[in-house]
């Protein structure tokens, strides 16, 4: 109570000053006694209430003020006395209040009141503040209206984006389906006896079909970027490997036009980088293909310079220069925009949609860089882009650097042989409702020696699976009676069929389609139009171990329990060339050591799922070289039963340790085959 007494004494001593301050406040103020007689009001009160002179007078009560306001119509329809009585009753409660009242003229008042307590702690009055908030409320209403407009616009944009995505998905499916027939039939026809003219016609049909497919992929790429669904990888890679891939893709085209390819790489470039090599290569390939397309003579120069960064990251500048037709200032202004080209005549003479450079621009931005071009009409052009990349802590061993080209070719050759051998023993169920697609896939697979059965829809597929054992199911998505997603769910629900690999085969090539396939329980995804080599590799990668062994097993029996690796398997795959056996076995040893280190790092982070994925990756390579014990252990890691985090780690650790022991035994059996052998260990990479 002491503070209240002090306050009252302060008010008594300083009331003239306080009254003067209240007099000039921009908000209305009233002070009333316990009997609701108004003892003080300031000019602002009359102003905000809209009272003319004479309304307020000495000893006026709140009841009189309420009556004036009610007669004016501020309280709306009803009896005047009722309005006044209701408001007087509320005042007599002397409770704090804060509300907004709209007057008859549309003005909005915020009314804020608090009781005044005397020295005895009893209420002896009330102070109320009246604030004109008309402008604020109008602003809030306008802001709310704008928010509603923005919300509606956002909803419309999202609906349009969904419609666009659905349209692109449908368009992709509808165009890819006949393209699958065109490209697939051309592929099958090229496998038959043809005269030179027929072969030329079919090669051009196949090329044209793949060109249309490339345009569709470009449109889907730009759609993903615009929707924010394009995600970049962040993995360790060698820039030299990116340049090697670039050379493989563009060198034949350059040679066909008698153009010289030159590479000018900054010697200070890091050996290993961190980023997305696929997307980096996509931009370089597009730039270089354009340079080749618009050049009649001279050379194409690919330059890479380091323009900034530190030990953990760097900014690289990539340039592709040509001596072609060049561009004017006006033409350069039209570049890097979707469906735009420098000159409409360019489309007629050289072909193209203008999407490629737009995608390059977006990919460069995703990599933290920019794009641009310097050109002189009739002299040539230099297209450039920058990218921010990480610098990897890994280094490539001298041995692997020296053998990279040979090992890559050897791996491709051995893998192709292994795939063909595996498919020869495979029993495959093809679920497809389109007759042409049935014929294409069936003949492609039967050419590799596989046994193929056909179901026209999910219902037929389930019936065949109940009657016959299959090693793999190729499942279309869109089919009558029962689609591929529902059929896969039912396969996974059947304990006897739950482990059979189900691979989606569809012309719908969107990320959303892939996610639906995975959610339904499918193992992998094969896009139409079918690319034979990719289809064969994908299927072979999911075949059960018994099928792979049936395809890879040599006629002479081998005792696999006594050896960590049976190099006769690898020798059989690559024709018995001992030099190649040594090189490929050493390559397998080095890559498996990398995989084991990745497993150990994943365990340290508690990421058991990555251990499963690494197990799957190492498993196929181990089987290919005859390390069947290691392959079995990797398969066990791949299918490690799920559980709580601690339980998974507890089961995975001893298996990874056992894998390390097996790897040491493999190394012991491989290295004696080498003269001046180099022992690889965990510090050699």
Assess contact for 428 and 476: CB atoms under 8 A: no
Contacts of 304 (CB under 8 A, 6+ apart): 239, 264, 265, 266, 269, 316, 317, 318, 319
Higher pLDDT: 360 or 585? It is 360
Per DSSP, the residues of 539-562 read HHHHS-HHHHHHHH--SS----SS
Contacts of 639-643 spanning 24+ positions with Cβ under 8 A: 639/612, 640/608, 640/611, 640/612, 640/615
Q: What is the pLDDT of residues 495-521, one digit of tens each?
A: 888 889 999 887 665 666 777 788 888
Q: What is the pLDDT of residues 186-236, one digit of tens each?
A: 878 887 888 878 887 887 787 777 667 766 666 666 665 655 556 777 888
Q: Is the pLDDT of residue 417 over 60?
A: no
Contacts of 552 (CB under 8 A, 6+ apart): 418, 421, 422, 569, 572, 573, 623, 624
Contacts of 422 (CB under 8 A, 6+ apart): 540, 543, 547, 548, 551, 552
Q: What is the mean pLDDT of residues 647-671?
A: 83
Q: Tell me, what DSSP letter sits at residue 524?
A: E
Q: Tell me, what DSSP letter sits at residue 30?
A: E
**Which tokens sit at 500?**
């059979």
Q: Order of strands across the sheet with 108-117?
A: 38-41, 28-33, 123-132, 108-117, 97-102
Q: What is the pLDDT of residues 377-416, one digit of tens each?
A: 888 899 999 999 998 876 544 334 433 443 344 344 444 5
Domain spanning 2-132: which CATH class is it, in words?
Answer: alpha beta
Assess contact for 413 and 403: CB atoms under 8 A: no
Q: Report the share of the chain in percent with pLDDT over 90.
A: 18
Assess contact for 151 and 482: CB atoms under 8 A: no
Please tell me the least confidently modeled range out of 80-84, 377-381, 557-561: 557-561
Reported residue count of the chain is 685
Assess contact for 276 and 234: CB atoms under 8 A: yes
Helices (H), 367-470: 398-424, 435-447, 458-467
How many whole angstroms from its chain centre is CA 48?
Answer: 58
Question: DSSP 3-state assignment of 507?
Answer: coil
**pLDDT score, position 377:** 82
Most confident of 50-59, 160-169, 584-593: 50-59
Assess contact for 622 and 592: CB atoms under 8 A: yes
Please tell me the least confidently modeled range out of 88-102, 477-491, 548-562: 548-562
Residue 66 banded pLDDT, cuts 50, 70, 90: very high
* CA–CA dist 418, 606 (Å, integer): 34
Q: Quick count: other Cβ atoms within 10 Å of Cβ 511?
A: 15
- Burial class (CB within 10 angstroms; exposed 0-12, middle 13-18, buried 19+) of 324: buried
Q: Is the pLDDT of residue 184 over 90?
A: no
Domain ranges of the chain: 2-132, 235-395, 404-551, 557-673
**pLDDT score, position 677:** 34
Among 643, 650, 421, 680, smallest CA distance to 550 is for: 421
Per CATH, the architecture of 557-673 is what? Up-down Bundle (1.20)
* CA–CA dist 41, 79 (Å, integer): 27
**Strand blocks (E) in 576-619:** none
Phi, psi at 192, each rounded to 5°? -100, 175
* CA–CA dist 525, 502 (Å, integer): 9
Pick the CATH number of 235-395 from 3.40.50.2000, 3.40.50.620, 1.20.1280.290, 3.30.565.10: 3.30.565.10
* CA–CA dist 272, 441 (Å, integer): 40
* CA–CA dist 552, 623 (Å, integer): 9
* CA–CA dist 221, 341 (Å, integer): 18
Higher pLDDT: 155 or 280? It is 280
* CA–CA dist 196, 206 (Å, integer): 15
Question: DSSP 3-state assignment of 263?
Answer: strand
* CA–CA dist 35, 15 (Å, integer): 21
* CA–CA dist 291, 380 (Å, integer): 9
**pLDDT score, position 625:** 76
* CA–CA dist 423, 25 (Å, integer): 91
Q: Is the dihedral of CA 558, 563, 568, 573 positive or negative?
A: positive
Assess contact for 624 and 573: CB atoms under 8 A: yes
Please tell me the least confidently modeled range out of 307-311, 396-400, 632-636: 396-400
* CA–CA dist 630, 627 (Å, integer): 5
6 beta partners? none
Q: In the chain, what is the straight-line distance between the N-terminal and C-terminal CA atoms, in Å?
A: 80
Phi, psi at 600, each rounded to 5°? -60, -40
Is 404-551 assigned to CATH 3.40.50.2000?
no
Q: Report the share of the chain in percent with pLDDT over 70.
A: 76
Average of per-residue pLDDT values in the chain: 78
pTM above 0.85, yes or no: no
Most confident of 92-101, 185-194, 252-261, 638-647: 92-101
Q: Tell me, what DSSP letter sits at residue 106?
A: S
Q: What is the mean pLDDT of residues 629-641?
A: 81
**pLDDT score, position 344:** 43
Q: What is the mean pLDDT of residues 257-267?
A: 87
Q: Is the dihedral of CA 606, 609, 614, 619 positive or negative?
A: positive
Among 321, 270, 264, smallest CA distance to 294 is for: 321
């Amino acid at each position: 109570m002491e503070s209240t007494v002090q306050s009252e004494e302060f008010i008594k001593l300083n009331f003239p000053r306080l009254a003067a301050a209240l007099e000039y406040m921009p908000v209305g103020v009233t002070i009333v006694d316990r009997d609701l007689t108004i003892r003080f009001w300031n000019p602002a009160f009359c102003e905000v209430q809209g009272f003319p002179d004479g309304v307020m007078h000495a000893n006026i009560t709140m009841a009189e003020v309420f009556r004036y306001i009610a007669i004016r119509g501020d309280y709306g329809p009803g009896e005047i006395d009722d309005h006044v009585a209701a408001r007087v009753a509320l005042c007599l409660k002397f409770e704090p209040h804060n509300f907004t009242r709209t007057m008859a003229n549309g003005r909005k008042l915020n009314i804020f009141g608090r009781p005044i307590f005397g020295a005895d702690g009893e209420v002896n009055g009330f102070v109320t503040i009246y604030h004109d908030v008309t402008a604020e409320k109008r602003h809030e209403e306008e802001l709310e209206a704008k928010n509603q407009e923005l919300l509606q616009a956002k909803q419309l944009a999202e609906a349009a984006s969904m419609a666009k995505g659905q349209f692109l998905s449908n368009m992709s499916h509808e165009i890819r389906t006949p393209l699958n027939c065109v490209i697939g039939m051309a592929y099958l026809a090229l496998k038959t006896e043809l005269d030179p003219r027929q072969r030329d016609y079919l090669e051009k049909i196949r090329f044209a079909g793949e060109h249309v497919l490339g345009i569709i992929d470009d449109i889907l790429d730009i759609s993903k970027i615009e929707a924010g669904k394009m995600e970049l990888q962040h993995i360790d890679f060698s820039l030299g490997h990116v340049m090697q891939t670039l050379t493989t893709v563009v060198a034949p085209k350059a040679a066909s036009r008698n153009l010289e390819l030159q590479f000018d790489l900054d010697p200070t470039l890091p050996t290993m980088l961190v980023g997305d090599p696929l997307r980096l290569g996509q931009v370089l390939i597009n730039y270089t293909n354009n340079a080749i397309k618009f050049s009649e003579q001279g050379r194409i120069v690919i330059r890479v310079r380091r323009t900034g960064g530190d030990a953990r990251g760097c900014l690289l500048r990539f340039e592709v220069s040509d001596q072609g037709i060049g561009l004017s200032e006006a033409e350069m202004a039209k570049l890097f925009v979707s469906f735009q080209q420098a000159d409409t005549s360019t489309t007629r003479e050289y072909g193209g949609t203008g999407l490629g450079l737009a995608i390059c621009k977006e990919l460069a931005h995703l990599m933290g860089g920019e794009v641009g071009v310097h050109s002189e009409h009739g002299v040539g052009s230099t297209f450039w882009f920058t990218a921010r990349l990480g610098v990897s802590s890994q280094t490539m061993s001298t041995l692997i650097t020296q053998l990279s080209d040979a090992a890559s070719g050897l791996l491709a050759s051995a893998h192709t042989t292994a795939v063909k051998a595996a498919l020869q023993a495979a029993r495959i169920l093809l679920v497809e409702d389109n007759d042409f697609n049935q014929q294409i896939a069936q003949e492609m697979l039967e050419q590799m020696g596989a046994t193929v059965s056909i179901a026209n829809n999910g219902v037929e597929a389930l019936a065949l699976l109940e009657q016959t054992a299959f090693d793999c199911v190729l499942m279309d998505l869109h089919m009558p009676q029962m689609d591929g997603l529902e059929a896969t769910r039912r396969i996974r629900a059947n304990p006897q069929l739950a482990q059979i690999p189900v691979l989606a085969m569809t012309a719908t090539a969107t990320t959303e389609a892939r996610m639906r396939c995975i959610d339904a329980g499918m193992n992998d995804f094969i896009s139409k139009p079918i690319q034979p080599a990719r289809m064969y590799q994908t299927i072979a990668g999911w075949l059960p171990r018994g099928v792979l062994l049936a395809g890879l097993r040599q006629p002479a029996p081998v005792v696999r329990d006594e050896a960590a690796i049976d190099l006769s398997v690898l020798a059989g795959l690559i024709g018995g060339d001992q030099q190649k056996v040594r090189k490929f076995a050493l390559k397998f040893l080095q890559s498996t050591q990398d995989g084991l280190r990745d497993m150990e790092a994943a365990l340290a982070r508690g990421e058991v799922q990555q251990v499963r994925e690494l197990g799957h990756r190492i498993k196929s390579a181990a089987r290919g070289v005859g390390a069947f014990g290691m392959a079995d252990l990797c398969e066990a890691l791949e299918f490690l039963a799920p559980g709580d985090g601690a339980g998974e780690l507890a089961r995975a650790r001893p298996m990874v340790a056992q894998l390390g022991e097996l790897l040491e035994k493999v190394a012991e059996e491989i290295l004696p085959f080498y003269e001046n052998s180099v022992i690889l260990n965990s510090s050699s990479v």
